[in-house]
Chains A and B, each alone.
Chain A
């Protein structure tokens, strides 16, 4: 493509009189992307998350050994080497292969928590904000109550009652993490609920249900995405903590937190058993934090540097 073609495409994207909805949308996305990609750390974060997705998708190709069946006879607690990059654990399993497969469980947890918690928060927040009055008071009181709870301890109690397991850990984390989303959605709803376009839709006879669903919720999405991305690291750390305490994923699942727990017994002599999965958690959480910061700066310029 010639330089002029690129130039004219850029002009088309940045045009202040877009001829179609598509052009307007693409133009806005382009502006946001330019702001986002100017931030090198945010790009690093994006790369880490993309790498996580790729590793999870190609785990069968990338992992040289089975994640669950080890060589008990010959390969117990071997130090890192060319054959086993991160060493082996007490059951003779290759730690690198387990970490590669563990990426799937990390993605599983964050995606499920986001899918459960974000819509709950969105629904509670928009309904409270649009309805106002008693509905608002009651819903926000409940939100505040949940917001004041200690998340980890409550998740712990939930899992203790539901029984250990990765599904219950996801449920427990989701139950404790929706309130901030409700707060954000309500704040966004309050800023638009008295605007002219909502009044216009009301005059056209749209039902409150339709207004909330079609005209208010879409406006809350971008701040919600930023907040969810920023929360991802916390979700990963809580899930890993539950796994470490033996309440999350159960053996032989290669979940990173549970891997650290099993490496704890050998920490003084075979430190690599616990070291590698912890480093994996650190890198992925760091990725989500960098990505979240970058998205916030790109999509929400109001918050600026703080």
Chain B
């Protein structure tokens, strides 16, 4: 390599490094402002909208002296910007106050229930991706064929059906009529007392401990809600896969590959799909985030003791600390997945120009 070429390569390398640094910097700025925005909105919801938080805690019959003291204790006599500062500081420590309903700190409640939600959403996304990607690819390759029509109908219904209603129908059919799955809960009552979870992911825990009867029971409980979430992920993933694949299949390198005599299988799965892989990762990450959010409805239908059920139970008991704590946790994870997949897209795809 000549000196000039070396210098050029070094120049390209440093340009790449600058690009990476600048997208990391952008990521940090966006992450911080978005997270602050989330906290500002929940702060607004919790402190400003209810007429008087003191009233919410004490009720309307407390004597004036007690009301005044509570107001000071809650820091409500401070200017609101200072209140917000204290709020952000507490939230960063993971301190969302105490749940009125369970009398535990909200964060320890959430730590207890969150694995159930993660387990469900992860299994749902897996089902959606494993079925959705091949379906989308086939729909794009055989455009206009029967399989394309089927994929389109699956997608349309997935975008149009109320998830909680489909869940209820699923319970009628697969639990009550066919008895293929277990009743809405995480485990049968028998196992609730004999099984000690380690990580909180029951499928994983029971498999690690070799308790296959517990594993089978956990599977019978999780499979219906997971399949339901998987269907929604499938609707989104297959539609996006189809669109990415159509885009790739129209490129000239596909023609070149055909001219070289590569087999169709290799062209489709080896070349086109590989080039569509980067946006696909983003799509799968986004569908994971939306399943986490959708857990609020699914968990209510299936009595699944995750963060969604925790939020809705707290809602019906007017437990605002728990509601807002849950909102912030789901919101943070949602934002993190959103921004990380965006960052990943920028870093992995050489075509995305940065800066």
Contacts of A146 in B (CB 8 A): 37
Contacts of B324 in A (CB 8 A): 157
Min C-beta distance of B260 to chain A, whole Å: 27
Q: Look across to chain B and name the residue whose beta carbon is closest to the beta carbon of A267.
A: B168
Give A160 to B296 CA distance when docked, in angstroms: 14
Contact status A271-B172, CB under 8 Å:
yes
B312 within 8 A of A: yes
Q: Identify which of B37, B293, B301, B335 contacts A151 (C-beta below 8 A).
A: B293
Contact status B320-A160, CB under 8 Å:
yes
Q: What is the 8 Å Cβ interface bit string for chain B, positions 141-169, against chain A (1 contact, 0 not)? A: 00000000000000011011111111011
Give A162 to B338 CA distance when docked, in angstroms: 28
Min C-beta distance of B347 to chain A, whole Å: 19
Q: Look across to chain B and name the residue whose beta carbon is closest to the beta carbon of A290.
A: B156
List residues 228-257 of chain B with CB under 8 A from any CB of chain A. Answer: 243, 246-247
Give A141 to B33 CA distance when docked, in angstroms: 8
Give A144 to B33 CA distance when docked, in angstroms: 10
Min C-beta distance of A288 to chain B, whole Å: 8
Chain A interfacial residues counted at CB < 8 A: 45
Q: A156-B311, A156-B327 are in contact. Are A260 and B164 (CB under 8 A)?
A: yes
Contact status B49-A161, CB under 8 Å:
yes
Min C-beta distance of B321 to chain A, whole Å: 11
Contact status A245-B168, CB under 8 Å:
no
Contacts of A271 in B (CB 8 A): 169, 172
Give A257 to B165 CA distance when docked, in angstroms: 9
Q: What is the 8 Å Cβ interface bit string for chain B, positions 265-305, against chain A (1 contact, 0 not)? A: 00000000000000000000000011011101100110000
List residues 297-355 of chain B with CB under 8 A from any CB of chain A. Answer: 297, 300-301, 311-312, 315-316, 318, 320, 323-324, 326-327, 330-331, 334-335, 338-339
Q: Look across to chain A and name the residue whose beta carbon is closest to the beta carbon of B30.
A: A144
A205 within 8 A of B: no
Chain B interfacial residues counted at CB < 8 A: 54
Q: Look across to chain A and name the residue whose beta carbon is closest to the beta carbon of B239.
A: A306
Contacts of B334 in A (CB 8 A): 148-150, 153
Contact status B33-A145, CB under 8 Å:
yes
B13 within 8 A of A: no
Contacts of A247 in B (CB 8 A): 315
Contact status B327-A154, CB under 8 Å:
yes
Min C-beta distance of B344 to chain A, whole Å: 15
20 intermolecular pairs with C-beta atoms under 8 Å apart: A145-B38, A149-B37, A150-B289, A150-B290, A150-B293, A152-B293, A152-B294, A153-B293, A153-B326, A154-B331, A156-B312, A158-B49, A161-B45, A233-B159, A244-B300, A268-B176, A271-B172, A277-B165, A282-B157, A305-B246
Interface residues of B (CB under 8 A from A): 30, 33-34, 37-38, 41-42, 45-46, 49-50, 156-157, 159-166, 168-169, 171-172, 176, 243, 246-247, 289-290, 292-294, 296-297, 300-301, 311-312, 315-316, 318, 320, 323-324, 326-327, 330-331, 334-335, 338-339
Contacts beyond the supplied A278-B165, A281-B162: 4 A-B pairs with Cβ under 8 Å: A150-B331, A153-B293, A156-B311, A160-B323
